[in-house]
Amino acid sequence: MTPDITTSTATATLKNDRFIRALLREPVDCTPIWIMRQAGRYLPEYKATRAKAGSFMDLCRSAELACEVTLQPLERFDLDAAILFSDILTIPDAMGLGLTFSAGEGPVFANPLRDRRSIEQLPLPDPEGELRYVMDAVSTIRGALNGRVPLIGFSGSPWTLATYMVEGGSTKEFAHIKGLMYSDPASAHLLLDKLSTAVTDYLNAQVRRGAQALMIFDTWGGVLSPDKYREFSLAYMNKIVSGLIREHEGQRIPVILFTKGGGAWAPEIAASGADGVGLDWTVDIGAVRQQVGGKVALQGNLDPSVLYAPEAVIEQEVARVLSSYGQGSGHVFNLGHGIHQHVNPDNVKVLVDAVHRLSRPYHQS
């Protein structure tokens, strides 16, 4: 699977360690790829398992079914990593906000946070208590993978979780959370601080149960001005990164930070101590590499809508991203955001195979 170039101390037990090696900027035979939301509604087999489970949260709460859907995309495509099947909203749910997913509306919280008192009273969830179902899914998936590819654990960033918790669901305006941030910054900081502790404990528990890399999804950091991004999002991700287990059972556990819309801040994100920075498609990955390539690996950044195009266009766009990144390791190929639910799975196969085939020349020494 991987070339016999150097022996990585990071990955002794993996049959395919390209993803970990690329994050550590060690030599690889070709560029690794995985896809955000790779287990999801674009796959008919996902929809079948989801129907069997009942609700989306029922699917997350069953370790066996969560494992089944995690492995589905790996059966179809030559992907270089698996990602825990769960959701970023498990933490707010475990804090008592009452999460449901309604068709067409997305996530809804029965008890959104609207005042200081409810923030003060917010309990810290126990990863092996209220969130034990997530940890059981991690152990089950890690066992079933049997070293085939690494397992990525994840969480939402404090800022992104706070947007859902204060708004009570998805939003376009961010009126309540931004209102809180500007009018009562101390309460916003109290909430973000609690969430940082919860996220750190949650991610470390995932590592103890077998996650081999970690990713923090800051889906909504990009809606902030640069100074507010630093103060209300990045500062808390920095704090989390410095509290994470970075080595477990002799293996390095790489961490990726992804702020959607945060490309302009890549140098600051790269200074967090993370191993990798995720990029959406609005930046040129080669230009960002010029700024930070000596410090971190980069993950991304194909526009997810390219997957609606014919095969030749997909290959051409893959070639463009690979050429923009250029020669050598330190690139994990991905979409710039989650895969859309109406994509044809055959096009995903074209994408994955094109990344492996077309990247080989960039890894010959």
Q: Is 226 in the site for ligand CP3 (CB under 6 A)?
A: no
Give the DSSP per-residue string, 8-24.
Answer: -TT-TT-S--HHHHHHT
Q: Is 138 in the site for ligand CP3 (CB under 6 A)?
A: no
Of 32 and 107, nearer to ligand CP3 (C-beta) is: 107
- The nearest distance, CB 89 to ligand CP3, in angstroms, is 5
Q: Is 261 in the site for ligand CP3 (CB under 6 A)?
A: no
Of 217 and 325, nearer to ligand CP3 (C-beta) is: 217
The answer to whether residues 262 and 222 touch, using CB atoms and an 8 Å cutoff, is yes
C-alpha 11: how far from chain center:
20
Q: Indicate the residue type of 139.
A: S
Residue of 9, 13, 170, 242 interacting with ligand CP3 (CB under 6 A): 170
50 counts as catalytic: yes
Indicate the residue whose CB is closest to ligand CP3.
Answer: 219
164 counts as catalytic: yes
| Phi–psi pair at 331, nearest 5 degrees | -120, 125
Q: Is 116 in the site for ligand CP3 (CB under 6 A)?
A: no
Binding track, positions 20-49, relative to ligand CP3; x by CB under 6 A: ----------------xxxxxx--------
Catalytic one of 21, 25, 80, 164: 164
The answer to whether residues 78 and 356 touch, using CB atoms and an 8 Å cutoff, is yes
* Residue 337 marked in a binding site: yes
* Residue 274 marked in a binding site: no
Contacts of 161 (CB under 8 A, 6+ apart): 88, 89, 91, 92, 195, 199
Q: State which of positions 284-303 bind ligand CP3 (CB under 6 A).
A: none
Total residues binding ligand CP3 (CB under 6 A)? 21
41 counts as catalytic: yes
Q: Where are the alpha helices (DSSP H) in 85-234?
A: 90-92, 116-120, 132-145, 158-167, 175-183, 185-208, 226-229
Of 88 and 288, nearer to ligand CP3 (C-beta) is: 88
Longest dimension (CA), the chain: 60
The answer to whether residues 305 and 5 touch, using CB atoms and an 8 Å cutoff, is no
308 counts as catalytic: no
d(CA 40, CA 50): 9
d(CA 191, CA 182): 14
Residue of 10, 67, 81, 83 interacting with ligand CP3 (CB under 6 A): 83
Catalytic site residues?
37, 41, 50, 87, 164
Footprint of ligand CP3 (CB under 6 A): 36-41, 50, 56, 83, 85, 87-89, 101, 106-107, 154, 170, 217, 219, 338
- Where is the binding site for substrate, in residues? 37-41, 87, 164, 219, 337
